Structure formats: structure tokens, C-alpha cells
Amino acid sequence: MLNRRTFIGACFSTLGLSFLDAKALKPWHLGHHGDFYFKQMAQSVYVMHGAKKRDHDAQCFIHNPAFIESKNGIIIIDTGASYVVGKAVLNQIAQISPKPIIAIFNTHHHSDHWFANGAIVEAYPDVKIYGHQNIIESATHMYLQGEERLISQAKAKSFYLPSYFVDDDENMTIDGEDFHIQHPKSAHSNSDISITHLQSNVIFLGDIVLESTLGYFSEISSILQNITFLEKLSQQKRYALYVVGHGTSGNYQKTVAPYLYYLSSIKEEVSKAYEEDKGIFELEEAHKRLKQKFTWKEDFTFPLRFVENHMEFVYAELEKEDNFL
């Protein structure tokens, strides 16, 4: 197991953008985590970064909801993990703008990005919810069957998944605001989308990019395709702001570059072991090299055992590619 030191030395200060005056707002107070409110990060773009740790005081608020204020309404990206979070998001938005919520984007099917949809629909029944079509099957399988449905309902109160579907390289306009959608075939999940708001040149990445944290990859994920997508992203023009699903948003060097470097390093070390005909449980040397390659942040929010999951996951992907060929 890797030690908790500083994860990737590429830490840069956040962009020097104008923020709302916190004194003018009544923030959402979450115990020892402090106060939370939306900050203006770019033209018409506001982000509220979630708590760094998962505990009782955090009240499931661990993601980064964002919204864009259009001429006639509000467009939310990723509402949150529960009905309670959704109500808090609504309250914080109302302090900035009296406009109605007219649209929601859900970046993928994991509950911390859409369980709060119900609170928004309750307040604004005509709101349109957008996402990739894979979100329906994946969310249903993960949360809406058997005993899991009861657990999910306790958090979400009611379930509202996207009914308007978007796909890769799609352009769309909502109330005069222009968006470009990208969909990796599979990355963090098979339902991931990134959303670029063209007027502000801000890209919302969901969990395709994680900052100061690690995520679990499942059978519908692909680390190799996640790398491919981030390499493609690195070739695109630089965006004014990269909004991540967890951690702190910022410029390319703060967000995409470290995560791409981390995933690519996993691939590089595991590929060496694979080419040496070592088995999936013979990755100790690769693990040791990775330990030496990175230093890990003290405030890391996911278990570092996920590194082992990532190594084994890449090995299985390489093996599958080999068998396919």
C-alpha cells in the first residue's frame, strides 16, 4: 500500500478569476467542512466544490455541482448525491439568480451526480434532463433493482434520469447557450460525457478527470480508453477552466495533466510486467516503481488500495486486447 504523501507534484494555484463576495451569501454550513456556496468562475458559470472527505458532516456532498445562467433560466451540471443536496443546491442558486431551472446535464450514471435530480424536478417540473443513453441501463442496474432500490430511494426520494439523450461530437443550444458534447466509448464509466460551454470556453468533465482523488473502475469502465480520451483532450485548444467531478477545478496543468500522467504511468508499468509474462498477481515490482514515481497528498480522499485495482484493471484490459487480436 502506498504511503499518504503528496500526489503528483504538479499543483498549481487556481485561476485568478473573479468570485462572488461570500459575505453577500448565506452559505451552506457542513460542520467541520465549513461553508459552501457557488463561486463565479467564468462568464455566466458558477461552481460549488464539494467536501473533501466522506463523513456524516458532509451529508453526501462530495461532488462539484455547477450551473450556467442563461437569458431566461439556469442550466445545472450534475445536481448531486441526494434529495437533501438538491435542496441545498437550489437554495444556493436562488441567492444568485431568481431565474427558473430549465435544464440539467448529468455527466454519468453514478448516484452522486444525479440522485438530487428529484429535488430539482419537484421545484421545476418542466426541467429537461440531458445525458448519454447508457445512463439509463447502467443506473438501473446499479441502483434501481431489488434491495438496492430501497437504499437508493432513502437518499434520492424520487428517481429522475435523463430523458433527452446526447452523444459524441454533438452540438446543441439551450436558451441561447451553446454546448459541445464529447462521449468516450468508455472511461470512468460507459455513460460519461464532457460538456463544453462555448460562450465561456469552460469544459465540464464529470469523473473523466479526478483531482486529488482516485476512483474505482468497474466492468463498464476502461482505463485505456480514459487515457485515449485525455490524450485527445490534451490536443484540443486549452479551455479557460476544467471543471472536475471531484477535487478542485482549474487549468489544464492542475486537472487533466496530473490525472493523465497518473493513468499513463499505471499503463506503462503494467505493460512492462505483461510483456515480461508476469501474471496479474505478480505486479509487486510495478507497484514498487509506482510508489517511487509519485508522492501522495495527505488529504487524499479515496483509499489508495484503488491503485492496486487500477493496476489489475489495466492488466485485464491488456489481456483482453491480446485475446481479441
Q: Answer whether residue 99 shows pLDDT above 50.
A: yes
- The CATH superfamily holding the domain 22-263 is Metallo-beta-lactamase domain (3.60.15.30)
Secondary structure (DSSP) of 225-238 = HHHHHHHHHHHSPP
pLDDT at residue 295 in the model: 63
Q: Can you say how many angstroms the Cα of residue 324 is from the centroid of all Cα atoms in its chain?
A: 30
Alpha carbon distance 53, 35 (integer Å):
14
Burial class of 6 by CB neighbour count within 10 A (0 to 12, 13 to 18, 19+): middle
Residue 101, C-alpha cell as written in the block: 431551472
Alpha carbon distance 108, 194 (integer Å):
9
Q: pTM of this prediction?
A: 0.90
How high does pLDDT run on average in the chain?
89
Query: For residue 200, what pLDDT band results from cuts at 50, 70 and 90?
Result: very high
Q: Provide the sign of the torsion angle of the four alpha carbons 170, 196, 268, 314, taken in this order.
A: negative
For residue range 269-293, list pLDDT tens digits in order: 999 999 999 998 899 888 888 877 7
DSSP 17: -
Query: For residue 70, what pLDDT band results from cuts at 50, 70 and 90?
Result: very high
Residue 173, C-alpha cell as written in the block: 443550444
Q: Answer whether residue 11 shows pLDDT above 50.
A: no
**Mean pLDDT of the region 94-106:** 98
Q: Percent of the chain having pLDDT more than 70?
A: 88
Higher-pLDDT residue of 46 and 54 is 46
For residue range 221-261, list pLDDT tens digits in order: 999 999 999 999 999 999 999 999 999 999 999 999 989 99
Query: For residue 6, what pLDDT band results from cuts at 50, 70 and 90?
Result: very low
Q: Are strands 241-243 and 28-29 parallel, antiparallel or unpaired?
A: unpaired
What is the residue extent of each domain of the chain?
A: 22-263
